[in-house]
Amino acid sequence: MSVLKIGVVEDELVIARTILHTLDELGYSHCGPAINYTEAIELIENDMPDLLLLDIQLAGRKDGLDVAEKLNESYKLPFIFLTANSDIETIDRAKRVKPHAYIVKPFTKEELYAAIEIAFNNFSGSKMGAGPAKMPSVPIRNFMFVKDGYVFRKIFFDELLYLESEANYVLLHLTSQKKIMVRSTITDFIEQLDPAAFVRVHRRFSVNVNLIDDIFPNEISVHGIKIPIGKSYRDELLSTLGIRHG
């Protein structure tokens, strides 16, 4: 999983610093802030962000809507509007340039994270038929955020013991013995993880190979917990671990 590079276009520097700090906390790379139309275009061309956080009200004659029109015409870059205005007129103007999300200030860290992830995911999915989407090229991060009730929990991959499928949910078992239920199929959730570190061992289980203690004929031990090995998954497990078998 690669880190997204987020461009920030915001003319209120106190707010801009808060946004950059929040992006740091969420593990994103970032560039900016740009405070007007000209700086926004320079930021896009020079820093090549994967997504833009774009304030509607900017310093100068041209505003965020003008930046959005230029994005749609020339750059095909996903953008999220940030605004303190939620009146009908502002929203109607914003709708015309088709933002990938719209966040009203003030917003929480969780709201920003959800908007960024959903906007970029939907944008990437819509580009599949038109050629490969631009992929982030910055370093790989070692954690992810998962929704736990009303908050997003930060989970480091090395504290994730194993995944357990529960119908349309996945139960995350952590080294701390804490469990987090996530609404997803195990197949979809595994796609977010490093395939070299997490391997499917059963139709209901995927484990962190770095935390496996022992391997038995029909089960494995992860931190003392026994997990069954499905017959159709055994060969892939042994191959991933570099174990020769006859």
Is residue 172 within 8 Å of residue 155, measured between CB atoms? yes
Look up residue 87 and give its amino acid: D
pLDDT in tens, 141-188: 677 888 777 677 888 888 999 999 988 889 999 999 999 888 888 888
DSSP states of 63-113: -HHHHHHHIIIII---EEEEES---HHHHHHHHHT--SEEEESS--HHHHH
- Determine the Cα–Cα distance for residues 70 and 21; give it in Å rounded to an integer: 27
Q: pTM above the 0.75 mark?
A: no
Per-residue pLDDT, 141: 64
Per-residue pLDDT, 233: 92
- Determine the Cα–Cα distance for residues 122 and 127; give it in Å rounded to an integer: 9
- Determine the Cα–Cα distance for residues 197 and 105; give it in Å rounded to an integer: 39
H/E run at residue 40: helix 37-47
Per-residue pLDDT, 246: 56
Q: Is 11 helix (H, G, I), strand (E, B) or coil?
A: coil
- Asked whether residue 140 carries a pLDDT value surpassing 80, the answer given is no
- Asked whether residue 10 carries a pLDDT value surpassing 90, the answer given is yes
Taken in order of first residue, the domains within the chain and their CATH numbers are 5-129 (3.40.50.2300), 156-240 (2.40.50.1020)
pLDDT in tens, 91-109: 888 888 999 988 988 888 9
- Determine the Cα–Cα distance for residues 26 and 145; give it in Å rounded to an integer: 8
CA 244 to chain centre: 36
User: Does 87 or 129 have the greater pLDDT score?
Assistant: 87
pLDDT in tens, 207-229: 999 999 999 999 999 999 999 99
